[in-house]
Structure 1
């Protein structure tokens, strides 16, 4: 099934709606201070793994399962310079209309962003922050599928910049409509 991950069909869902208020002021910036981004913490908010046909699903499958993966990014401000960024990964393996396994992970990090220009804040929160926590979430998904009796599901890197651009384009289209 490790090879199945490479052949799997992947569907990346656009990032979910994120409420980042327009800050009045300059995000705590001081003249001439260098921009900085710090990870204050990261954690699992929710994790589930389902193996509904066990133990039959562990005996071997005919053909490779189709693996569908969806990705969402949400963010919310906690303070003037602190943001919680959530990365939601959902993976489902199907074989002949039967669920082989399903896993869902909601992984989050708290970031402190200081001296960031206001026009760069939104893309940093929705592109750079999830990019920094993705490797940890990827490892959790690999471990939980392996511990569930399957080969580890190794997710390919995600282009968070492309997801962000799709989201901005969709919001612009909705605003025009």
Structure 2
């Protein structure tokens, strides 16, 4: 985004979204069947990943956006690990029409939070004795459309 100043030069304009803070709101890692699930010769676990996004207004132009992730790995009927993460950010949104605020909060804000949440999940699974779980990029536009249509949060199998 840019505009022209009086000399005909372009200069960047302020983006409508600013990240004020990022933080872990809630985090859990469970390894309920260790050490059995970590023994050599175990088959690769089947991993399912669920993602949800929610937001709330906490000030005139200040919003909290929470990216919730639930990752469960199973070997047969046994749970290998379970990771639940609520990773949040405080965002200031200015200069947007009212109808554009919600899409920005539920698409762009989680897109900015995702790499950090992904790293936390990868570190937790690695520290739990498993290969790091590298969650594929998420289409937050599709997730927003599903939420708007009243469907369940996105679930994927890795």
C-alpha displacement at 1:165, in angstroms?
A: 1.0
For 2:29 and 2:41, locate their aligned partners in 1 and report how far apart those are by CA, in whole Å.
19
Q: Equivalent residue for 1:118? A: 98
Q: Equivalent residue for 1:13? A: none
- Structure with greater strand share of residues: 2
Structure 1 length-normalised TM? 0.75
User: After TM superposition, which residue ranges in structure 1, 4 or more long, deviate above 4 angstroms?
Assistant: none
C-alpha displacement at 1:80, in angstroms?
A: 1.4
One of 13, 19, 24 as aligned partner of 1:44: 24
For 1:61 and 1:163, locate their aligned partners in 2 and report how far apart those are by CA, in whole Å.
37
C-alpha displacement at 1:61, in angstroms?
A: 4.7
Between 1:160-169 and 1:69-78, the stretch displaced more is 160-169
Q: Equivalent residue for 1:6? A: none
C-alpha displacement at 1:63, in angstroms?
A: 2.3
The runs of 5 or more residues in structure 1 that have no matched partner are 1-32, 172-177
C-alpha displacement at 1:36, in angstroms?
A: 2.0
Is 1:108 matched with 2:88? yes
- Structure with greater helix share of residues: 1
One of 159, 164, 168 as aligned partner of 2:139: 159
C-alpha spacing 1:114/1:162, structure 2 compared with 1 (3 Å): same
For 1:35 and 1:85, locate their aligned partners in 2 and report how far apart those are by CA, in whole Å.
17
Describe the superposition over 1:7-64 as per-residue Cα deviations: whole angstroms up to 9, x where unpaired.
xxxxxxxxxxxxxxxxxxxxxxxxxx85521100000011111111112222135322
C-alpha spacing 1:128/1:61, structure 2 compared with 1 (3 Å): farther
- Which structure has the higher relative contact order (CA within 8 Å, separation 6+)? 1
C-alpha spacing 1:61/1:41, structure 2 compared with 1 (3 Å): farther
CA contact (8 A) 1:35 1:116 kept: no
Structure 2 length-normalised TM? 0.83
The runs of 5 or more residues in structure 2 that have no matched partner are 1-12, 152-158
Is 1:66 matched with 2:46? yes
Matched residues, number: 139
